[in-house]
A and B are shown apart, each in its own frame.
Chain A
Amino acid sequence: MAKLTADTDLCQGYGNCLTTAADVYDIDDDGKVVLLIETIPDADRARVEAAARSCPVKALGVVDG
């Protein structure tokens, strides 16, 4: 399992994460990222890491859980 992190202070609402992994990330009315789940199975890790790397302000992380 891997643990997801999201820094809402850094988040600027660019929304690229939702394009890659809409099952994991959402966005609230203020334009801030919301984690729909907090841990992911290892099988999903590469895809969610790609979504995290698509964040222009590095607000997202995937760490060993």
Chain B
Amino acid sequence: MSTVVIVGASVGGVRTAQALRAQGHDGRIVLVGAEPHVPYDKPPLSKQFLAGAWEHDRLALLTEEEAAADRIELRLGVAATGLDAAARSVELADGTTLGYDTLVIATGATARPSPWAAESGVHVLRTLADGTGLRDALAEPGPLVVVGGGFIGAEVAATAHAAGRVVTVVDPLPSPIARVLGDEVGRLVGDVHRRHGVETRFGTGVRAVSGHVGALEVTLTDGTVLPAGTVVVGIGAVPAVEWLADSGLELDNGLVCDEFCHATGHPEIFGVGDVARWFHAGHGEHVRVEHWTNAVEQAACVAHNVVHPEEPVLYRPTEYAWSDQYDWKIQIAGRPNRATGFELAGDPTTDPPRFGALYRDEAGRLSAAVTVNWPKLLVAARRLITAGTPYEEGLSVLDKLIAPVSAA
């Protein structure tokens, strides 16, 4: 009986296990997770969970009953500590080993730790334990300083602001979201905090954080000292490959995989989700994507390639991410920061705004789209991007959606 071991029980690992069964894999499936909790979902940690609107049971990705129904063996609360690829065996923190015929590596990424030390009160947000700690901290009074204006930082700021906290967001870049959206659209979206009454210190770094919970001081590179009850540091994540250091697998900003998501030179090992840096045949380069939808789509592709090795499918998705901040739903398809130009649709000045940017690449295709509060436009554009639609043709299709709004 063929055994698939999946290391990592977040969305990529869970969805791989489910898709393997759905695709017809009849052998063992073992899902290994370092955390003791039943597999849970991460996007709500910075939103509904942090706000107290959802409890942890609502975050479940796979209940024990669902796992049993799909014959998925859960090994939770035990991290993988090593891999013997020649022996096809995973070493676990409890001293046991797990043999496999196929291995799926879905260990994700871990929050980049705070480079600034304080006695207490400095948080990162990646895991359920992080989320629980931060939620408790936000129940206490005192200003919140968020270091890092990316998606996590922005969502935490929005949630804390809605809960009545005084919030300041700090980032060394003048427009942090421009990293993703490009400069011009980044500026349009980048004032989301100011428009919602949250203070920003963009273009300024952090020199030091000192003190303890309830009485922290954040010293900026321009000399300003911000008092804080709680500090959240959201400065990115690093792929969780430390346990593979002695495995002989190729590691370079993640687990390096081919266009079918095989680890280099190992057709029996696959990468899924944030940890995987695979060769995207459409882009002609290796990419690593830290977004929910990528983990889900990559899981489905890998499950297919495990069950049907004689007819493997290339993994060449259109990137897709979203961020819910204040009353703004920001959705991004493709790679706007690689585009050569764009056109705006809708109106960024209304409250709340409803607008989008449609980007072209150097080959003259519709290559990316960003929308604010306009899901229908995003969905339509995403489909055209995936189809490789020429830019002008794509615009004329989307014009049917855009025109009534622009005329209003």
Residues of A within 8 A of B (CB): 12-16, 18-19, 22, 27-29, 31, 46, 49-50, 53-54, 56
Not counting A12-B329, A14-B293, A19-B382, a sample of 7 additional A-B residue pairs whose C-beta atoms are within 8 angstroms of each other reads: A13-B331, A13-B378, A15-B379, A18-B379, A19-B297, A22-B383, A28-B376
Q: Does B15 contact A (CB under 8 A)?
A: yes
- 10 A-B residue pairs with CB within 8 Å: A12-B324, A12-B375, A13-B376, A13-B378, A14-B322, A15-B378, A19-B297, A29-B376, A50-B22, A54-B293
Whether B329 lies near A13 (C-beta < 8 A) is yes
Give Cα distance in the complex from A27 to B374, angstroms: 11
Whether A31 lies near B376 (C-beta < 8 A) is yes
Q: Does B30 contact A (CB under 8 A)?
A: no
> Which residues of A are found within 8 Å of B386, using beta-carbon distances?
19
Q: Which 3 A-B pairs have the closest CB atoms?
A: A13-B375, A31-B375, A15-B379
**A52 shortest CB reach to chain B, Å:** 11
Whether A49 lies near B322 (C-beta < 8 A) is no
Given A22-B383, A53-B15: A16 touches B296 (CB 8 Å cut-off): yes
Q: Which residue of A lies closest to B48 (CB)?
A: A57
Whether A14 lies near B375 (C-beta < 8 A) is yes
Whether B329 lies near A50 (C-beta < 8 A) is no
Give Cα distance in the complex from A46 to B19, angstroms: 9
Whether B18 lies near A53 (C-beta < 8 A) is yes
> Which residues of B are found within 8 Å of A14, using beta-carbon distances?
293, 322, 331, 375
> Which residues of A are found within 8 Å of B373, using beta-carbon distances?
31
> Which residues of A are found within 8 Å of B300, using beta-carbon distances?
50
Whether B296 lies near A53 (C-beta < 8 A) is yes
Interface of chain A, main secondary structure:
loop
**A38 shortest CB reach to chain B, Å:** 21
> Which residues of A are found within 8 Å of B18, using beta-carbon distances?
53
> Which residues of A are found within 8 Å of B22, using beta-carbon distances?
46, 49-50
Q: Which residue of B lies closest to A15 (CB)?
A: B379
Q: Which of A15, A49, A56 has the most CB of B within 10 A?
A: A15
Whether A54 lies near B296 (C-beta < 8 A) is yes
Q: Does B43 contact A (CB under 8 A)?
A: yes
Interface of chain B, main secondary structure:
helix
> Which residues of B are found within 8 Å of A31, using beta-carbon distances?
329, 373-376
> Which residues of A are found within 8 Å of B383, using beta-carbon distances?
18-19, 22
Q: Which residue of A lies closest to B18 (CB)?
A: A53
Which single member of A15, A29, A49, A54 contacts B382 (CB below 8 Å)?
A: A15
Q: Which of B282-330 contact A (CB under 8 A)?
A: 292-293, 296-297, 300, 320, 322, 324, 329
Give Cα distance in the complex from A13 to B380, angstroms: 12
Which single member of B15, B43, B297, B379 contacts A27 (CB below 8 Å)?
A: B379
Q: Which of B32-64 contact A (CB under 8 A)?
A: 41, 43
Give Cα distance in the complex from A27 to B382, angstroms: 13
> Which residues of B are found within 8 Å of A15, using beta-carbon distances?
331, 375, 378-379, 382
As a 0/1 sequence over residues 372 to 392 of chain B, the CB contacts with chain A under 8 angstroms (1 = contact) are 011110110011001000000
Give Cα distance in the complex from A56 to B294, angstroms: 12
> Which residues of A are found within 8 Å of B23, using beta-carbon distances?
46
Whether A50 lies near B19 (C-beta < 8 A) is yes
**B66 shortest CB reach to chain A, Å:** 11
Give Cα distance in the complex from A35 to B317, angstroms: 24
Give Cα distance in the complex from A6 to B261, angstroms: 32
Give Cα distance in the complex from A27 to B22, angstroms: 26
**B225 shortest CB reach to chain A, Å:** 39
**B131 shortest CB reach to chain A, Å:** 16
**A1 shortest CB reach to chain B, Å:** 18
**A59 shortest CB reach to chain B, Å:** 13
**A43 shortest CB reach to chain B, Å:** 13
Give Cα distance in the complex from A5 to B386, angstroms: 27
Give Cα distance in the complex from A28 to B377, angstroms: 10
Give Cα distance in the complex from A12 to B327, angstroms: 12
> Which residues of A are found within 8 Å of B15, using beta-carbon distances?
53
> Which residues of B are found within 8 Å of A49, using beta-carbon distances?
22
Give Cα distance in the complex from A12 to B19, angstroms: 24
Give Cα distance in the complex from A15 to B374, angstroms: 11
**B306 shortest CB reach to chain A, Å:** 15
**A17 shortest CB reach to chain B, Å:** 10
